[in-house]
Amino acid sequence: MKIIAITILSFLILSDAISQSKQSEERYIGPQKGYLIIIGGGVTPKEVRERFIQLAGDKNASIVFIPTASDDAEVLKESENFINAYKKRGIMNVTAINTRSKNEANDEKFYKVLETATGVFIGGGKQHRLSEAYLGTKTLNALFDLLDRGGVIGGSSAGATIQGSYLMGGKTRKTSDLSKLDNAYDKGFGFVKHAAIDQHLLKRNRQLDLVPIITQFPEILGIGIEESSAIEIHKNSLTVLGNSTVLIYDNNDWNRQTKETGNVTSPYIILGENQIYDLRSRRIIK
């Protein structure tokens, strides 16, 4: 009887621990321990780059570059440029990994470098190349482990979009009726839960591209980032970095504005430098 009682007690303790862990995960839209630096493309401002380096551990950082979104012909050149730029900054432990194969992304030899990394930067290009190579793989698990260790993941352009849970781009820009798409709810890496992230926003006249998504999927928060701008995400806090703007698209807020004013000319709110937005309550807090 004593053994049975101990077994039941152990089961209850384990179940409670799992339940608390799941509740903790749901409490935060962004990483609970780590950080994200998400850049809208174009030239990355020095202060944004320095913030990424600081979060990665400065000269003690161990940084991995992932150029997979790029064309095959550009991967080597981009990797060399990234590594050389960071070494000039005094960071000597920097390398790059790239694959087009999920099998290789599941090979420990490939992702092992991520196990000791303090920072990862995902380059630009076409975001579907990233999802095709890494979704559902041990490499992606290793990236989540890095965040759980308190590390930082940065990304620009495609490397920004992939960090949301909904993979913005591609065919979603060509139709306002997402129900016509076979893959209407494409998956990103999900470092930011319940979110779709777009980039090059004003430069490429994409201000309304997120509207069909938040209309069809009200639980999704749209985040549009202009070039030379970035956001830092930790837990539920989104902070605007850089020298331009970030647009937030919230279907619930849009509906609320419509009821209160009877007319909404813009289905988004505008955030400027250093403003802070709460991802869980979906409110500007500074």
Owning domain of residue 149: 33-281
| Alpha helix (H) residue ranges in the chain | 2-27, 46-56, 72-88, 102-105, 108-111, 127-134, 138-148, 158-161, 211-216, 251-261
Contact 282, 221 (CB under 8 A): yes
Concatenate the DSSP letters of all residues of 14-57 into one string.
HHHHHHHHHHHHHH-SS-SSSEEEEE-SSSPPHHHHHHHHHHHT
Bridge partners (DSSP) listed for residue 253: none
Q: Is the pLDDT of residue 23 over 70?
A: no
Q: Examine residue 21 and state whether it is found in any structural domain, yes or no.
A: no
pLDDT (0 to 100) of residue 244: 75
Q: Report residue 215's pLDDT band, with 50, 70 and 90 as the boundaries.
A: confident
Q: Examine residue 166 and state whether it is found in any structural domain, yes or no.
A: yes
Q: Of 128, 152, 163, nearest to 64 (Cα)?
A: 152
Distance separating alpha carbons of residues 22 and 14, to the nearest angstrom = 12
Residues 171-212 pLDDT 10s: 555 555 555 544 544 789 999 999 999 998 877 877 888 888
Q: Examine residue 238 and state whether it is found in any structural domain, yes or no.
A: yes
Q: Examine residue 115 and state whether it is found in any structural domain, yes or no.
A: yes
| Top-ranked range on mean pLDDT: pick from 12-26, 66-80, 267-281 | 66-80
How many domains is the chain partitioned into structurally?
A: 1
CATH number, position 57:
3.40.50.880
Amino acid at 125: G
Residues 53-87 pLDDT 10s: 999 999 999 999 999 999 999 999 999 999 999 99
pLDDT (0 to 100) of residue 259: 55
Q: Of 200, 204, 172, 176, nearest to 188 (Cα)?
A: 172
pLDDT (0 to 100) of residue 251: 87
State residue 124 phi and psi, 5-degree precision.
Answer: -90, 175
CB atoms near residue 96 (< 10 Å) = 20
Distance separating alpha carbons of residues 48 and 225, to the nearest angstrom = 14
| Top-ranked range on mean pLDDT: pick from 10-19, 153-162, 185-194, 239-248 | 153-162
Q: Examine residue 141 and state whether it is found in any structural domain, yes or no.
A: yes
Average pLDDT on 79-102 reads 96
Q: Is the pLDDT of residue 31 over 90?
A: yes
Q: Examine residue 88 and state whether it is found in any structural domain, yes or no.
A: yes
Q: Is the pLDDT of residue 222 over 90?
A: yes
pLDDT (0 to 100) of residue 210: 87
Q: Is the pLDDT of residue 10 over 50?
A: no
Q: What angle do CA 82, 87, 92 make, to 5 degrees?
A: 115
Q: Examine residue 27 and state whether it is found in any structural domain, yes or no.
A: no
pTM of the model: 0.85
Q: Is the pLDDT of residue 252 over 70?
A: yes
Q: What angle do CA 60, 61, 66 make, to 5 degrees?
A: 160
Residues 114-168 pLDDT 10s: 999 999 999 999 999 999 999 999 999 999 999 999 999 999 999 999 999 998 8
Q: Examine residue 18 and state whether it is found in any structural domain, yes or no.
A: no
Q: Is the pLDDT of residue 258 over 90?
A: no
pLDDT (0 to 100) of residue 265: 61
Tokens standing for 60?
Answer: 């003690």
Average pLDDT on 23-48 reads 88
